[in-house]
Amino acid sequence: EDQVTQSPEALRLQEGESSSLNCSYTVSGLRGLFWYRQDPGKGPEFLFTLYSAGEEKEKERLKATLTKKESFLHITAPKPEDSATYLCAVRFGTSYGKLTFGQGTILTVHP
Protein backbone atom coordinates (compact mmCIF):
# COMPACT_ATOMS: atom_id res chain seq x y z
CA GLU A 1 0.00 0.00 0.00
CA ASP A 2 1.27 3.46 -0.92
CA GLN A 3 2.01 5.36 2.28
CA VAL A 4 3.62 8.51 3.59
CA THR A 5 4.47 8.57 7.30
CA GLN A 6 5.89 11.50 9.23
CA SER A 7 7.65 11.37 12.58
CA PRO A 8 7.54 12.52 15.23
CA GLU A 9 3.91 13.63 15.43
CA ALA A 10 4.97 16.55 17.63
CA LEU A 11 8.32 18.06 18.49
CA ARG A 12 9.14 20.66 21.12
CA LEU A 13 12.47 22.46 20.88
CA GLN A 14 14.19 25.26 22.70
CA GLU A 15 15.25 28.21 20.58
CA GLY A 16 18.60 27.36 19.00
CA GLU A 17 18.21 23.60 19.51
CA SER A 18 18.68 21.97 16.09
CA SER A 19 16.75 18.85 15.10
CA SER A 20 15.27 16.89 12.19
CA LEU A 21 11.84 15.83 11.02
CA ASN A 22 11.37 12.59 9.12
CA CYS A 23 9.15 11.63 6.20
CA SER A 24 9.24 8.02 5.08
CA TYR A 25 7.42 6.78 1.99
CA THR A 26 6.53 3.47 0.40
CA VAL A 27 5.42 4.30 -3.14
CA SER A 28 6.34 3.11 -6.60
CA GLY A 29 7.80 5.52 -9.11
CA LEU A 30 8.44 8.62 -7.01
CA ARG A 31 8.05 11.74 -9.14
CA GLY A 32 8.70 14.31 -6.46
CA LEU A 33 8.68 14.85 -2.71
CA PHE A 34 7.37 18.15 -1.40
CA TRP A 35 7.69 19.90 1.95
CA TYR A 36 5.11 22.42 3.08
CA ARG A 37 4.70 24.55 6.19
CA GLN A 38 1.21 25.17 7.57
CA ASP A 39 0.33 27.79 10.16
CA PRO A 40 -2.93 27.48 12.15
CA GLY A 41 -5.95 28.53 10.11
CA LYS A 42 -3.97 28.88 6.88
CA GLY A 43 -3.27 26.81 3.80
CA PRO A 44 0.02 24.96 3.33
CA GLU A 45 2.94 27.13 2.19
CA PHE A 46 5.38 25.56 -0.28
CA LEU A 47 8.96 25.09 0.94
CA PHE A 48 10.88 22.57 -1.20
CA THR A 49 10.66 19.99 -3.97
CA LEU A 50 13.12 17.08 -4.17
CA TYR A 51 13.20 14.70 -7.13
CA SER A 52 16.02 12.21 -6.72
CA ALA A 53 17.99 10.45 -4.00
CA GLY A 54 20.93 12.52 -2.84
CA GLU A 55 19.32 15.83 -3.65
CA GLU A 56 19.42 18.59 -1.03
CA LYS A 57 17.82 22.02 -0.85
CA GLU A 58 18.20 24.83 1.66
CA LYS A 59 16.24 27.90 2.68
CA GLU A 60 17.30 29.99 5.65
CA ARG A 61 17.36 27.64 8.68
CA LEU A 62 15.80 24.72 6.79
CA LYS A 63 17.51 22.00 4.78
CA ALA A 64 15.71 19.15 3.06
CA THR A 65 17.37 15.92 1.98
CA LEU A 66 16.12 12.85 0.12
CA THR A 67 17.04 9.17 0.07
CA LYS A 68 15.32 6.28 -1.71
CA LYS A 69 12.99 5.68 1.22
CA GLU A 70 12.78 8.88 3.24
CA SER A 71 13.33 12.59 3.47
CA PHE A 72 14.58 14.70 6.32
CA LEU A 73 13.84 18.32 7.09
CA HIS A 74 16.72 19.64 9.18
CA ILE A 75 16.10 22.75 11.24
CA THR A 76 19.23 24.57 12.36
CA ALA A 77 19.09 26.94 15.34
CA PRO A 78 15.30 27.30 15.19
CA LYS A 79 13.46 30.41 16.28
CA PRO A 80 9.94 30.67 17.76
CA GLU A 81 8.64 31.86 14.38
CA ASP A 82 9.54 28.45 12.93
CA SER A 83 6.72 26.97 15.01
CA ALA A 84 4.18 25.42 12.61
CA THR A 85 3.01 22.09 11.22
CA TYR A 86 5.38 20.71 8.60
CA LEU A 87 3.79 18.54 5.93
CA CYS A 88 5.47 16.15 3.56
CA ALA A 89 3.79 15.04 0.32
CA VAL A 90 4.71 12.79 -2.59
CA ARG A 91 3.71 12.57 -6.22
CA PHE A 92 4.21 9.11 -7.73
CA GLY A 93 3.35 6.77 -10.56
CA THR A 94 1.01 8.22 -13.17
CA SER A 95 -0.67 10.56 -10.69
CA TYR A 96 0.63 13.76 -12.23
CA GLY A 97 -1.75 15.94 -10.24
CA LYS A 98 -2.39 14.18 -6.98
CA LEU A 99 -0.22 14.80 -3.94
CA THR A 100 -0.35 12.22 -1.16
CA PHE A 101 0.35 13.86 2.20
CA GLY A 102 1.64 12.59 5.50
CA GLN A 103 -0.17 13.57 8.68
CA GLY A 104 2.35 16.29 9.54
CA THR A 105 4.73 17.10 12.38
CA ILE A 106 3.71 19.86 14.79
CA LEU A 107 6.83 21.84 15.68
CA THR A 108 6.87 24.14 18.69
CA VAL A 109 9.96 26.26 19.38
CA HIS A 110 10.12 27.84 22.83
CA PRO A 111 12.07 31.08 23.42
Partner 1 sequence: GAGVSQTPSNKVTEKGKYVELRCDPISGHTALYWYRQSLGQGPEFLIYFQGTGAADDSGLPNDRFFAVRPEGSVSTLKIQRTERGDSAVYLCASSLTGGAVYEQFFGPGTRLTVL
Across 76-111, b (16+ Cβ under 10 Å) vs e yields: eebeeebbbbbbbbbbbeeeeeebeebebbbbebee
CB 20 → partner 1: shortest distance, Å? Answer: 19
105-110 and 100-101 beta bridge pairing: unpaired
Restricted to residues 35-64, the positions that interact with partner 1 (CB under 8 A) are 36, 41-46, 49, 51
Q: Among residue numbers 85 through 104, which ones bind partner 1 (CB under 8 A)?
A: 87, 89, 91, 95-104
Q: Enumerate binding residues for partner 1 (CB under 8 A).
A: 4, 31-32, 34, 36, 41-46, 49, 51, 87, 89, 91, 95-104
